[in-house]
Structure 1
Amino acid sequence: MQTAKNAAASVKETAANIGASAKSGMEKTKATLQEKGERLTAHDPTQKEMATERKEAKINQAEYEKQVALDQNATQRQATEAGGTNTYSTTGAAGNPMGSHQMSALPGHGTGEPAGQVVEGVVRSHPIGTDTRTRTGPGTTLAGHNTKTGGGAGGYSTGGAYR
């Protein structure tokens, strides 16, 4: 029974890896074709070089996403072989949560957990270039200049954060 389960997990991983590679190849091809079109319409060498740089960045991003998907598929296969159940993904986006493995340099980003207190429907606002972590206390609003906050239909409100 365990051998069949391991074989099935291996087949699923291989199929998901093929899908991730195909998606990566499509993105790389698309980037190359976009670059060719941009280079044809560009009028100076700087624009042509920028098109090439954009293409290289898109190719690097596609390769990175493929590697993330391959790693996640391997992790999911190992979890399935160990007794868990998972879904496979060609993008690395679906399946079981990655736990504490962050997919981004932003705090809390990619872990599924908010980085701080979250009030649904409320967005912190601050002047451009100001660090919001230093702007707390009286007079600081979570609603900014949004005239639609502060209550309304059904008795919903911003939770008292709007002053």
Structure 2
Amino acid sequence: MQSGRNAAEAVKESAANVGASAKAGMEKTKATAQEKVDKMRAHDPYEKEMVREKKDERIQEADLDKQQARFEHAAERQAGTGPGTRTGLGTGTGTGTNTYDPTVGGR
């Protein structure tokens, strides 16, 4: 049954990696769109160059975040605590009441 568990963990890792790639793609798209808006507002070539550099930094950061997420997902799979595993959740000693307290960081 171990191979079934490994296959399931691989699927979970792949799904998490797809999510990380999608998030990075969205960040890149947002950076490109913001660059276009900022370039229209910029008046001189220096400002436009600064806008382009800012976009490039945001894209590079998105790529690094994606790489880091992939690395973490692989490490979680190796450790057996991959995305979606439910190890270490609670001890069963709760009171059974869930109350919303708006003064404690809620939305």
TM-score bucket (shorter structure):
0.7 to 0.9
**CA-to-aligned-CA distance 1:122-163 (integer Å, 9 cap, x gap):** xxxxxxxxxxxxxxxxxxxxxxxxxxxxxxxxxxxxxxxxxx
Higher percent of residues as helix: 2
One-letter amino acid matched to 2:83? Y
4+ runs deviating over 3 angstroms: none
1:88 aligns with 2:83: yes
Query: Which whole-Å CA distance do the structure 1 matches of 2:77 and 2:82 have between them?
Result: 9
1:50 aligns with 2:54: no
Shift of 1:88: 2.0
Query: Which whole-Å CA distance do the structure 1 matches of 2:47 and 2:83 have between them?
Result: 40
Tell me how large the CA RMSD over aligned residues is: 1.2
With structure 1 as the length reference, what TM-score do the two structures score? 0.50
With structure 2 as the length reference, what TM-score do the two structures score? 0.76
1:76 is aligned to: 76
Alignment: residue pair count: 84
Q: Greater RCO between the two (CA within 8 Å, min separation 6)?
A: 2
Instruction: Structure 1: state its 5+ residue gaps.
Output: 81-85, 90-163
Shift of 1:73: 0.4
Instruction: State percent identity of aligned pairs.
Output: 54
Query: Which whole-Å CA distance do the structure 2 matches of 1:27 and 1:66 have between them?
Result: 11
Shift of 1:24: 0.2
SS in 2 for 1:43: coil
Query: Which protein shows a greater Rg?
Result: 1
**1:1-163 aligned within 5 A:** 1-80=1-80, 86-88=81-83
